[in-house]
Amino acid sequence: MRVVVLVKQVPDTWSPKRLRPGDFLLDRAAADGVVNELDTYAVEEALRIKEKHDDTTVIALTMGPPPAVEVVRKALQMGADEGVHVVDDALAGSDAMVSSLVLAAAIERIGFDLVITGVESTDARMGVLPAMLAERLGAAQATLAAEVKVDGREISVRRLAGGREFDVVAPLPAVVSVVEKINEPRYPSFKGIMAAKSKPLTTLSAADLGLDSNRVGLAGSATEVVAAEERSAERARVVIHDEGDAAARIVEFLASRKLL
C-alpha cells in the first residue's frame, strides 16, 4: 500500500504573522518556518498504518519554497520512507484551488492508495484542501477522522464533525484528513534522524508535473487579495461566553498571551 502524507511548512505558530505589503502574500521570511503541527498527526497516523500493514510505503509530500524541505525531512525523521518536495518559483502565491491541482498531480505521479492530511494548516486555515484533492484524484474522501482503520481495500473512518461522530466506510483509494484527537505524534528519535539522511528525497518542478507556469502560482489563482489591514487592538478583543467552562478558557487565553 502506498500512503502519501501531506506536510506543510508554516510560520511558527508562536510568532506573529504578517502579510507582505503590495501582494498581500504571507511574509514567510518574517517568522521561522515550522512543520504545520496538525500535519504531524497525519504523519503519525500514516506510520501507525505502516506498522500494522506490511508492504506499506509512506511518502511525505510538500509543496513550498526551498526551506520547506525541512518539513519533509522531519517526516522522514519520524519514520516516513520517502520524501517529495514540489518546489518552483512559479508556484508562489498559489491559492487552495491551484495548490490542490499541483498536489494532485504530484500524488498521481507518486502513486497512492491512501492520502492523509491534517485538518488544516495553521497559516491559511481554510481546511478545504483534502476535499479538493479527493475530487481531483477521483478518490473517496473522509475528512475530520478521529480514527482510521484499513482493512484490505477498504477504509473505515470515525469522523468527528459538528460535535458528532459518524462512522463511514469507503473503498481505497481515499483521502483522509485527521483531527488532533486521533493520536499522539512521536518525536523523531536520534536513530530516525540518522536514518533520514539516506532516505530518497525527490524534488519536482511544475514542469515535471506537466503544469504550465500560467496555470499555477499567482497567475493561475482565482483568488486575489485586494486589500488587507492590520488587526487593531480593539478588534482583537475576545469575548468568552460561559458554557460552563469559562474559567478554564479564560486561564487558557491568559496563558496563551503569557499573562499567567
Which parts of this chain interact with other proteins (CB under 8 A)? Answer: 73, 77, 186-191, 193-194, 197
Specify the residue, 48 or 186, whose C-beta has the smaller distance to other proteins.
186
Angle at alpha carbon of residue 201, lines to 210 and 126, rounded to 5°: 65
Kindly state the smallest distance separating residue 259's Cβ from other proteins, in Å: 10
Angle at alpha carbon of residue 140, lines to 44 and 7, rounded to 5°: 30
Specify the residue, 225 or 251, whose C-beta has the smaller distance to other proteins.
251
Kindly state the smallest distance separating residue 190's Cβ from other proteins, in Å: 4
Specify the residue, 90 or 196, whose C-beta has the smaller distance to other proteins.
196
Kindly state the smallest distance separating residue 24's Cβ from other proteins, in Å: 29
Pair 122, 36: CB distance under 8 Å = yes
Pair 85, 203: CB distance under 8 Å = yes
Specify the residue, 42 or 175, whose C-beta has the smaller distance to other proteins.
42
Specify the residue, 187 or 237, whose C-beta has the smaller distance to other proteins.
187
Kindly state the smallest distance separating residue 189's Cβ from other proteins, in Å: 5
Half-sphere exposure of 209 (CA within 13 A, CB side): 31
Specify the residue, 34 or 92, whose C-beta has the smaller distance to other proteins.
34
Angle between helices 129-137 and 96-110 (to 10 degrees): 50
User: DSSP letter at 90?
Assistant: G
Pair 99, 129: CB distance under 8 Å = yes
- Please state, in angstroms and rounded to a whole number, the distance separating the CA atoms of residues 85 and 41: 19
Kindly state the smallest distance separating residue 238's Cβ from other proteins, in Å: 21
Kindly state the smallest distance separating residue 97's Cβ from other proteins, in Å: 33
CB-based contacts of 245-249 (< 8 A; 24+ apart in sequence): none
Pair 63, 99: CB distance under 8 Å = yes
- Please state, in angstroms and rounded to a whole number, the distance separating the CA atoms of residues 130 and 6: 10
